[in-house]
A and B are shown apart, each in its own frame.
Chain A
């Protein structure tokens, strides 16, 4: 009997398989099959972006955030990377019986704070309570609607060899912050989740330059997963430069300790942009104007060869392949 395992949710190759072979197979249509972070469709007067995301993080409170903040920022960012101005959010709560009300209040207050900061309104919602054991404390689903200006065109099909890959900041912080609080792995670090609403930063870029071709937010599975997803559908390759990839000391230390690779660790406040070479400097400058983009860096480029592969040039001049994740990385002792 085939079962769903944790690997199906890790964002890597096995997740891709279930998305293609099950969800797209039965539910597919042109809009879904584009597999963008948000579906963008046109009405008579405007382009609307629509997205959904569910949040099941454990622990619910972690350095730098909580499940509430995540649920608002995650959906805001999915809309923002499609070039849309996020406007309206829905939220559904699935609460486990016995959940402490004071904690729920903290989470909801957090959602209110971050919705205001991002400039979005939560306009509809739902609440369910399930029996003890049926949910891991709390699950939240948020869906979001945003508006995109008509003359914007972003997509993997716009990407060309020579385009530059830009990261909006240092990677791996959310994953490490959450890991540091997991029982059985606990370590203390100053690392805070990078969870943040990126819409204002990205709209600023889109409003002030025309060279952006494609954007994604690098969430679960990390930067490596996003890049591998991109080369799956495109007929190009990607070459990163190890020396350029921004990683904070704390994240590096945690990865050294546990045998993890920052490229595969989740982020919640980082955007990946593919831009025209001539726009590289301008995009970096605009990103760095935002508090969430101060450490933005150009980390690589799109190549004609290496088709469908993501590669990295090491500090020692050698090239290696950055594989698609197969399952959630586990700490190692070997």
Chain B
């Protein structure tokens, strides 16, 4: 449930951002995010950004298997 996709904020006007997903641009409402900045990656759901993506934590799942389970 809750189909959502991560994208990068490339522009902000009022409370709306242009979000880039692998070259596709979609408008997203920013009402639900605190201090959004151009360059932030956000999770886009139903036309709204619902959370920022943490780039540091993004590698955790990959590293989990690389580290724990070996190559």
Q: Which of B21-29, B31-39, B59-67 contacts A (4 or more CB under 8 A)?
A: B21-29
Nearest to B18 among chain A residues (CB) is A188
B53 within 8 Å of A (CB atoms): no
A253 within 8 Å of B (CB atoms): yes
A126 within 8 Å of B (CB atoms): no
Would you list 22 pairs from A and B whose C-beta atoms are within 8 A, ordered by A residue? Answer: A187-B25, A187-B26, A188-B25, A189-B24, A249-B22, A249-B23, A250-B24, A253-B5, A253-B21, A253-B22, A253-B24, A256-B5, A256-B21, A257-B5, A257-B21, A257-B24, A257-B26, A259-B3, A333-B45, A334-B1, A334-B2, A334-B3
Give the interface centre of B2, B24, B45 by most chain A CB atoms within 10 Å: B24
- Would you give the 0/1 interface string for A251-295, flagging 1 where the beta carbon is closer than 8 Å to chain B? 011101101000000000000000000000000000000000000
B42 within 8 Å of A (CB atoms): no
Nearest to B44 among chain A residues (CB) is A257
A332 within 8 Å of B (CB atoms): yes
In the bound complex, what is the Cα–Cα distance between A330 and B25 (angstroms)?
Answer: 19
Residues on B with beta carbons closer than 8 Å to the beta carbon of A188: 24-26
Nearest to A257 among chain B residues (CB) is B5
Residues on A with beta carbons closer than 8 Å to the beta carbon of B5: 253, 256-257
A190 within 8 Å of B (CB atoms): yes
In the bound complex, what is the Cα–Cα distance between A87 and B68 (angstroms)?
Answer: 65
Residues on A with beta carbons closer than 8 Å to the beta carbon of B2: 333-334
Known interface pairs A188-B25, A333-B3, A333-B45; 4 further A-B residue pairs with C-beta atoms within 8 A, sorted by A's residue number = A249-B23, A253-B21, A257-B26, A334-B1
- Enumerate the 6 nearest inter-chain pairs by beta-carbon distance, A residue then B residue, closest first: A188-B25, A253-B22, A253-B24, A187-B26, A333-B46, A189-B24
Residues on B with beta carbons closer than 8 Å to the beta carbon of A190: 23
- Would you give the 0/1 interface string for A59-72, flagging 1 where the beta carbon is closer than 8 Å to chain B? 00000000000000
Query: A248 → chain B, closest Cβ, in Å?
Result: 9
Chain A residues within 8 Å of B, Cβ to Cβ: 186-191, 249-250, 252-254, 256-257, 259, 332-334
Contact of B24 among A254, A259, A332, A333 (CB under 8 A): A254
When A259-B3, A334-B2 are in contact, do A250 and B45 touch as well, CB less than 8 Å? Answer: no
Query: A247 → chain B, closest Cβ, in Å?
Result: 12
Residues on A with beta carbons closer than 8 Å to the beta carbon of B22: 249-250, 252-253
Nearest to B47 among chain A residues (CB) is A333
Residues on A with beta carbons closer than 8 Å to the beta carbon of B23: 189-190, 249-250, 253
Residues on A with beta carbons closer than 8 Å to the beta carbon of B45: 333
Query: A141 → chain B, closest Cβ, in Å?
Result: 34
Nearest to B45 among chain A residues (CB) is A333
Residues on A with beta carbons closer than 8 Å to the beta carbon of B3: 259, 332-334
In the bound complex, what is the Cα–Cα distance between A320 and B25 (angstroms)?
Answer: 32
In the bound complex, what is the Cα–Cα distance between A24 and B27 (angstroms)?
Answer: 46
Q: Is the CB of A189 within 8 A of B25?
A: yes
In the bound complex, what is the Cα–Cα distance between A250 and B2 (angstroms)?
Answer: 22
In the bound complex, what is the Cα–Cα distance between A187 and B45 (angstroms)?
Answer: 14
In the bound complex, what is the Cα–Cα distance between A334 and B21 (angstroms)?
Answer: 19
Query: A261 → chain B, closest Cβ, in Å?
Result: 12
Query: B4 → chain A, closest Cβ, in Å?
Result: 9
Nearest to A333 among chain B residues (CB) is B46
In the bound complex, what is the Cα–Cα distance between A190 and B23 (angstroms)?
Answer: 7
Query: A102 → chain B, closest Cβ, in Å?
Result: 29
Residues on A with beta carbons closer than 8 Å to the beta carbon of B26: 187-188, 257
Residues on B with beta carbons closer than 8 Å to the beta carbon of A253: 5, 21-24
Query: B69 → chain A, closest Cβ, in Å?
Result: 16
Nearest to B25 among chain A residues (CB) is A188
Residues on B with beta carbons closer than 8 Å to the beta carbon of A257: 5, 21, 24, 26, 44
Query: A27 → chain B, closest Cβ, in Å?
Result: 42
